[in-house]
Chains A and B, each alone.
Chain A
C-alpha cells in the first residue's frame, strides 16, 4: 500500500479524535438541555488563552496549567448556563441560538480586547514519531489518545454513576423526570460544567498544535456543528462516528483530490444526508 496514503489515513484518524471530542461536548449539551451552544468553539478558545496565559506568560508548568484551564472552562460553562441559557430556556429555540451567537461575538471581541488580534503560541515543540517512512506528530498522537480517554471517562460517568444516570434520564424524557421529583436545573448545571470541561480538555490538546487567536473558533466551530448534525444532534455515538467520517473525507479526500475539493465532498455528503436522513446517522426522528 502507498505509504503516503497510509499517512493520509493515519492523519485523518488523528484529526478525527480531536473533532470527536469537540462534537461530544456539544452533543452532550444538546442531548440533555436541548440547546445548541453556538459559541462552543469560542469556549475552547478561552481555554487555549488560559493555558497560554498560565504557561507562556506566568511559567506555570503545563501539567498544572491544563487542569486549571479545564476547570476554568467548566466554570465558564456553568456561567453560560446560569446567565444566558437558564433565563431563556422556555423560549423559542431561535432565541437560544441568537443568545449563544451573541456570546460568540462577545467572546471574540473580549479576547481581542485582552490579548489583541495577535497570534499567540506556547512555543512548545514536541518530538516527532518516526516509523520508517511514516512521520506522525506526537502532539496529534497525544491529543488523539487523551481525547479517547476523555470520551471513555465520560461514558463511564454516564453509565456508572448516579448523577450520570440522572443526566441520561433527563436526556430521554425531561417531562417525566420532573414528575418523578427530579430537579432538572441541577442536572443542567452539571451537564453544562461537563460540556465546558470537555471544551477545556479540547483546548488543552489544541493548544499543542495551533496558535491561539481570537478567531480560532472559526476554524473548528462550523465543522463541529456539521459533525453533530451529521451524526444526529444529541447522539454521542453518532457524533463520534461522524467525526471520523468527516476527518477521513478531509484527509484522504484531500490527498486524492485537493483540500478545497475535500471540503466540497464533505459538505456534499452533509447536504445529501440532510435530504436522505434529516435526523442524522444516529438521530431519532422527532
Chain B
C-alpha cells in the first residue's frame, strides 16, 4: 500500500516536473514549404522535403535542439505555383506563427518570398532554390542560403569542359562549340547566363543560346536549330517534363553531340531518367551539389559520414528509392546546418530563437570544408556585400551517369570516375 502511494506520488512529481520543463523549453515552429504537387514536385521538390523532414525527425529524436526545444514542422504545399507559394509563406509566418520559414524548391518562388519575408524581418532559410538572383544585390538581412547558387552551376560545367577539352576531345577550349539551352524561369536564366560568361571566359564558341517555357508541348524547332548549329557540348538547364521531351525529340530527330551537361532539377532524378530512357541516359553529365552518399567519408569531418549513412537509410526506407537524389541531400544538409549549428548558437549565445538571434548566430557560423554532409563548409556573406546571405563556401560538382549509377567527374580532387567524353558509340546521341 505504502509503496503504491509512493509510486503514485513519484509519478505525479515526475509528471509535474515534466510538465514544468515542457513549459520552460519552448517548441520551435518551422514552416516547411515545398512543392508537393504540380510539375515541380517530381523534379526534386518532394525529395528535398523528405530530406528536410529527416533532419527534423533526427533532431527531435534526440529531444530537439539542445535536447529540449522540440521542432514542430508545419508542412505546406506550394503546388508548383508562385502565387500559392507566396500565400503559403505568408500564412506560415503570420497565422501559423512559424519562427523560421524553411524550404522552397523553385527559384521563381524564392525570389518574391525572400523580399517579403525580409521586409517582415523573419528568417527565410533556403535549402534548394539556386538562382543567384534570389540574393544578388538585394542585401537581404534575414534570408540565408547554405546551398550552392546558380552562378557556380554555370561556371562548373564550362570549367570542367575546358579542363578536359584537350585530353578528351582533342581540341583547344577555344575551338569547343557549346549550345546553351534553358527553361526561361529565374533558375534556367540564372544558370544559362553563368554558362554564357563561363564559356566566354574559357574562350569557347557559343553557337546557340535559347530559352523556352518548361511547359512547352513541343521543342522540335529547338532541336532542329541545335542540329543546324552542330555544338560539341550542350549545356542544358530544365525541369522535368521539358528534359524528357528534349531528350526524346533529340533522339527522334537525330541530334548528335559529344557531351550533354545538365544542371540539376530533372537531371538530378537519375531513377526517373533511367525509367524513361533506359541506357540512353548513360554518360550524361549533371551539375549539382553533390549527393552526400557519393563523397568519401574519409575526406569529411569525423561523424559526418555516419550522418550521411543515416540520412540515406531513412530516405530509402521512406521512399523505396534505389538511388538517393542530390535534392534529398540539399533538403537535409541545409536543414541540419540550421538545427544543429545555428539554432543552438542562437539560443545559447543570443538568448533565444527570435529572428534577430537566429540572424546573429547565422552570421557567426563558420563550418570549415568537410564539415557538412555535402562536403562544403558554411560561412555566410555578411550584409552589405553583393551576395549577402549566400554561403561563400558552397560548391557544386559535375557528375556522370554510368550504368544507372552516379559518379563524380569534377572537381578532380573528388573524382570517382575518369569522365567518359565524347559519348561512346553505344549512345544514340553519339556522333556517327
Q: Does A214 contact B (CB under 8 A)?
A: yes
B3 within 8 A of A: no
Q: Which residue of A lies closest to B250 (CB)?
A: A135
Q: How far apart sit A70 and B216, CA to CA, in the bound complex (Å)?
A: 25
Known pairs A123-B276, A215-B80, A219-B241; A255 contacts B216 (CB<8 A)? no
Chain A residue nearest in CB terms to B244: A211
Judge whether B7 is part of the interface by a CB distance below 8 angstroms.
no
State the total of A-B contacts with C-beta under 8 angstroms. Answer: 119
Q: Which residues of A contact B240 (CB under 8 A)?
A: 119, 211, 213
Which among B213, B227, B228 is the interface contact of A263 at CB below 8 angstroms? B213
B34-42, B89-97, B168-176 - the one binding chain A: B34-42
In residues 210-254 of chain B, which contact A (Cβ within 8 Å)?
Answer: 210-213, 215-222, 224-225, 227-228, 240-241, 244-245, 248-249, 251-254
Check if A279 is an interface residue, CB within 8 A of chain B.
Answer: no
- State which residues 135-154 of A face B: CB under 8 Å: 135-140
Is the pair A8, B221 in contact by a Cβ cutoff of 8 Å?
Answer: yes
Q: Which residues of A contact B210 (CB under 8 A)?
A: 258-260
Partner of A117, one of B41, B212, B218: B41
Q: A263 to B214: give the CA distance in the assembly, Å.
A: 13
Bound: A262/B221 CA distance, A = 10
Query: Are the C-beta atoms of A260 and B218 separated by less than 8 Å?
Result: no
Q: Does A228 contact B (CB under 8 A)?
A: no
For B290-319 the 0/1 string (1 means CB < 8 A from A) is 000000000000000000000000000000
Produce 1/0 per residue, A202-223, CB < 8 A to B. 0000000111011110111001
Interface size class of A (residues with CB under 8 A): 35 or more
**Is chain B's interface secondary structure helix, strand, loop, or mixed overall?**
helix
Contact of A254 among B46, B221, B245 (CB under 8 A): B221
Chain A nearest CB, measured from B349 CB (Å): 41
Are A210 and B245 within 8 A (Cβ)? yes
Chain B residues with CB below 8 A from A191, complex form: none
Chain B hits for A136, CB < 8 A:
252
| Interface residue ranges of A177-204 to B (CB < 8 Å) | none
Q: A15 and B253: CB pair below 8 A?
A: no
Counting CB contacts under 8 A, is A252 at the interface? yes
Quick one: which of B218, B228, B245, B275 contacts A15, CB cutoff 8 A?
B218
Q: Tell me whether A121 is interfacial, beta carbon within 8 Å.
A: yes
B-side contacts of A218, CB under 8 Å: 39, 215
Contact B36 A4 (CB under 8 A): no
Q: Are B184 and A260 in contact (CB under 8 A)?
A: yes
Choose one: B37, B41, B217; the contact of A219 (CB below 8 Å). B217
Show 22 residue pairs from A and B whose CB-CB distance is below 8 angstroms, ordered by the A residue: A4-B227, A7-B224, A11-B220, A11-B224, A117-B37, A119-B241, A123-B276, A125-B280, A128-B252, A135-B254, A136-B252, A209-B248, A210-B245, A219-B216, A220-B217, A251-B220, A251-B221, A259-B211, A259-B216, A260-B184, A260-B212, A262-B221
